[in-house]
Amino acid sequence: MVKRLVSSLSITFAVAAIGAWPLIYLGIPFFSSWAFLTVLQFVGFYFYNEHVSRKIALQEQQLLLAHEAELSKQTSEVTCPCDRGVKCFVPINLNDRNEYVCPGCKKDINVIVDLKTALITTPILEQPETVIKQTILS
């Protein structure tokens, strides 16, 4: 960490010195042009790092959205009707045909989605004797 910081500062100061050297011939003092170029590099690095950080954050958000989209897909574990009975997870889309290729027998398999209905019930939290007494008394 310290070694990297020292090497980075050395490179920055060297680049500033190389940039300030020709400015001596224009009558600009070396130290002031060197200091200006050093500060200019720090400002440039700051904006470059901001740009890279925002770009990485944008890519992370895009990956997160793609991940959420993949998670929102419905999948089901199905068993191939072949003799091997290979099980695999298949994405299910109710608006489309659900086909896949069995990894065991390499045949095209169609998934038939069978919808059923069920009565919604509420669990009885009381003791059974209490429920029977209330039923008899009412």
Residues contributing to the site for Zn ion (CB under 5 A): 80, 82, 86, 102, 104-105
Quote the least distance from Cβ 101 to Zn ion, whole Å: 9
* Type and span of the H or E element at 88: strand 87-92
Provide, rounded to whole angstroms, the least separation between the CB of residue 88 and Zn ion: 9
79, 85 in Cβ contact below 8 A? yes
Q: Which residue has the tokens 């009885």?
A: 124
**Closest approach of Cβ 104 to Zn ion, in Å?**
4
Select 84 or 133, whichever has its Cβ closest to Zn ion: 84
Give the residue with the Cβ less far from Zn ion, 37 or 80.
Answer: 80
- The Cα 20–Cα 14 span in angstroms is 10
